[in-house]
C-alpha cells in the first residue's frame, strides 16, 4: 500500500492544530460538516448485510461513534445514490441524513429536523447487498448542531438543546444562527 507522506503529515498537523487552538482559546470550537450518510437499526443491519454488528472503518469526532466499512444505496423517486457510508454504532431507528441538494436530486422532500427525531422524516429506501428496507419515516436534513462534552458546555455557559450562533473568520467568514447544542 502506497502512503502519501505529505498528505498524512498535513492531516496530522491539521488535527493537532485543531486541538491546540481549542486549548489556547476555549471559545474556539472545531466544526465539521458531514456528507450524506445512513444510521441503521440492528434489525435493518441484519436485513441489509446479514450482520450483527457494523465494522469500524475509522473513528469520528463524537466519542464512541465511527464511520463503518459498510456502504448502502439510497433510492429516491428520481434517482439513487450509491456508496453512501453507514455510520455506527447502530441506532434504535434507521435514518438517512441528506443535504438539501441531495433531496432535490433524489426527489424527496425531507424536513430539517434533529437527528433521531424522525416523526416528520419522509419515506426512502435503503439497499444493501442482501436486501432492501423501506423507511416510512427515514429521510431527513440534519438541523445544524454542535456536539459538546459536559465540561465544554459548562465552560461556554450552554446546555443541551440551547440554540447558539457561530462566527466564522476568514475570506468567506460570516455568522450562522440556530445551531442546536447537543451535550
Same domain, 41 and 104: yes
152-169, pLDDT tens digit by residue? 889 889 999 999 998 888
Reading the block at residue 50, the C-alpha cell is: 446479514
Residue 60 and residue 137 in one domain: yes
Residue-level pLDDT at 24: 64
116 lies in the same domain as 87 = yes
Q: What is the pTM of this model?
A: 0.80
CA torsion 12→15→16→17, rounded to 10°?
Answer: 120
Over residues 85-117, the pLDDT tens digits come to 999 999 999 999 999 999 999 999 999 999 889
Side-chain half-sphere CA neighbours of 33 within 13 A: 2
Beta-carbon contacts of 133 under 8 Å, excluding residues fewer than 6 positions away, are 44, 47, 48, 94, 125, 126
Cβ neighbour number for residue 20 with a 10 Å cutoff = 10
Whole-number Å distance between alpha carbons of 156 and 150: 10
Whether 47 and 105 map to the same domain: the answer is: yes
Domain that holds residue 169: 144-183
Total number of domains constituting the chain: 2
Amino acid at each position: 500500500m502506497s502512503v502519501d507522506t505529505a498528505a498524512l503529515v498535513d492531516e496530522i498537523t491539521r488535527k493537532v492544530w485543531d486541538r491546540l487552538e481549542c486549548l489556547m482559546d476555549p471559545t474556539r470550537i472545531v466544526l465539521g460538516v458531514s456528507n450524506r450518510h445512513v444510521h441503521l437499526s440492528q434489525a435493518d443491519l441484519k436485513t441489509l448485510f446479514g450482520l450483527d454488528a457494523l465494522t469500524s472503518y475509522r473513528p469520528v469526532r463524537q466519542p464512541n461513534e465511527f464511520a463503518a466499512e459498510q456502504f448502502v444505496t439510497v433510492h429516491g423517486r428520481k434517482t439513487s445514490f450509491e456508496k453512501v457510508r453507514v455510520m455506527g454504532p447502530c441506532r434504535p431507528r434507521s435514518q438517512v441524513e441528506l443535504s438539501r441538494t441531495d433531496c432535490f436530486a433524489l426527489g424527496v422532500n425531507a424536513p430539517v429536523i434533529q437527528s433521531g427525531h424522525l416523526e416528520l422524516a419522509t419515506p426512502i429506501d435503503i439497499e444493501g447487498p442482501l436486501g432492501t428496507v423501506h423507511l416510512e419515516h427515514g429521510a431527513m436534513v440534519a438541523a445544524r448542531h454542535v456536539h459538546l462534552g459536559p465540561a465544554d458546555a459548562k465552560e461556554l455557559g450552554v446546555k443541551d438543546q440551547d440554540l447558539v450562533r457561530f462566527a466564522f473568520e476568514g475570506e468567506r467568514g460570516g455568522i450562522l444562527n440556530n445551531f442546536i447544542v447537543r451535550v
